[in-house]
Amino acid sequence: MSNETFTSVWDAIEDTPAEAENMKLRSILMMALEQHIHSKGWTQTEAARRLGVTQPRVSDLLRGKINLFGLETLVNMASAVGLHVEMRVLEAVRPPF
């Protein structure tokens, strides 16, 4: 058993730093979209209409099915409902695997 410490769960379970970073960004976007949908009080049908996707797609989003969504799709969905996405690139605090 190892006592490694990780910055995030994605660092612990993904095979590469690149995959971990991608998952972190996708999870942040998914949580922001979920929060936005809930704060507006939208049904899944209404959210789907506003996001430009199907209701089953919104269900997948709200159920956290992260592997079904790419970054580009999530950015497009956020933009469709008036959210602004910003990105910062910083020096890694840990060496790559």
Side-chain half-sphere exposure of 92, counting CA atoms within 13 A: 11
Residue 70 lies in a domain: yes
What pLDDT score was predicted for residue 18? 77
Average pLDDT over residues 23-42: 96
Around Cβ 68, how many Cβ atoms within 10 Å? 11
Q: Of the candidates 65, 96, 19, which has an alpha carbon nearest to the alpha carbon of residue 9?
A: 19
Based on the structure, what is the number of domains in the chain?
1
pTM, rounded to two decimals: 0.82
Residue 74 lies in a domain: yes
Around Cβ 69, how many Cβ atoms within 10 Å? 19
91 or 54, higher pLDDT: 54
Band the pLDDT of 47: cuts 50, 70, 90.
Answer: very high
Average pLDDT over residues 50-72: 97
Residue 69 lies in a domain: yes
Residue 12 lies in a domain: no
Q: How many angstroms separate the CA atoms of 83 and 8, rounded?
A: 25
Residue 46 lies in a domain: yes
Classify residue 4 by its DSSP letter: -
Instruction: Give the domain extent around 67.
Output: 18-80
**Residue 43 in tokens:** 């049904």
Q: Where are the beta strands (DSSP E) in 1-97?
A: none
User: Do 68 and 30 meet the contact criterion of CB atoms below 8 Å apart?
Assistant: no
